């Protein structure tokens, strides 16, 4: 085990003590230089305001905790797994067209009886209640910052109440760092990120094209990187490692499935469902959906 900072961080990542693709860019490209900058003298008279110093100390504490195999509750860079709960996504009939009366809301199951019985649609997901982008939810694609999983719907209010009562879905905890995303390139389009479990359930033409399997903390990080590849563009911030992703495999559908299963042997295919909150606007022409 190396004892100086830069080799120590590289070693810790190689043996799985440190994780997170955004963390990797900061720690491997910045931490060692900052350490040398201050330790060996730079003429800098202060580190910033007290709150900035406090955050730096807290971040260092999280790194030390992680090196000893401990996640930090409510951590900023190495948080403990986030809790997910059954949540109900609801939208009025006018939501997709954004017409008069267009409204969307996220509900706790116990609040559902007070909602309208007609003129609305309801869909049940398993998601963290800290996620503020559930109006983007689509069962086929990963469009929310934190993992959200389809459970049931859409249906009427009374149908939703009946399903919740008969099923009583439970919550869970999920880690959102170093997630796997599968992205398809086909026909001049880059398709939105999918979980490998959803990719495994695809049939027919949905398997066509070139697939990229990436490890990233957030789906848009993975999607942005593949768009750079498709457009022949350089990733931004090259001196810091470029896009905060790690490419696992690239090739045909079967090849990428095998790579995902080698990395995560417990992967199981999810049921393919076309369900989600209606979108009022279409994606650009080079985005597959």
pLDDT, tens digit, for every residue of 135-193? 999 999 999 999 999 999 999 999 999 999 999 999 999 988 999 999 999 999 999 99
Least Cα distance to 172 among 195, 193, 147, 144 occurs for 147
Query: Cα(first)–Cα(last) distance of the chain, in Å?
Result: 46
What are the boundaries of each domain within the chain? 5-67, 82-174, 179-288
Residue 273: is it exposed, middle or buried by C-beta count within 10 angstroms (0-12/13-18/19+)? middle
| pLDDT per position as a tens digit, 188-234 | 999 999 999 999 999 999 999 999 999 999 999 999 999 999 999 99
What is the pTM assigned to this prediction? 0.87
């Amino acid at each position: 085990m190396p004892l100086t900072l830069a080799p120590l961080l590289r070693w810790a990542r190689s043996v799985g003590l440190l994780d997170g693709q955004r963390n990797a860019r900061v720690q491997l490209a910045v931490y060692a230089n900052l350490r040398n900058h201050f330790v060996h003298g730079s003429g800098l008279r202060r580190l910033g305001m007290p709150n900035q110093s406090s955050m730096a100390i807290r971040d260092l504490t999280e790194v030390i905790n992680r090196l000893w195999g401990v996640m930090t509750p409510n951590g900023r860079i190495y948080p403990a797994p986030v809790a997910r709960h059954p949540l109900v996504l609801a939208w009025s009939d006018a939501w997709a067209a954004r017409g008069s009366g267009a409204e969307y809301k996220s509900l706790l199951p116990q609040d559902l009886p007070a909602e309208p019985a007609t003129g609305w649609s309801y869909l049940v997901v398993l998601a963290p209640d800290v996620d503020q982008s559930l109006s983007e939810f689509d069962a086929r694609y990963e469009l929310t910052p934190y993992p959200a999983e389809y459970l049931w719907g859409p249906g009427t209010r009374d149908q939703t109440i009946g399903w919740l009562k008969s099923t009583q879905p439970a919550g869970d905890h999920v880690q959102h760092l170093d997630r796997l995303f599968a992205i398809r390139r086909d026909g001049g389009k880059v398709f939105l990120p999918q979980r490998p479990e959803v990719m495994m359930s695809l049939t027919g033409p949905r398997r066509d094209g070139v697939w990229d399997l990436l490890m990233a903390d957030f789906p848009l990080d993975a999607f942005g990187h593949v768009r750079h590849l498709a457009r022949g563009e350089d990733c931004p911030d090259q001196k810091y490692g470029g896009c905060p992703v790690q490419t696992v495999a690239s090739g045909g559908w079967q090849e990428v499935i095998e790579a995902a299963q080698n990395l995560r042997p417990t992967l199981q295919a999810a049921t393919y469902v076309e369900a989600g909150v209606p979108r009022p606007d279409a994606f650009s022409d080079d985005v597959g959906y």
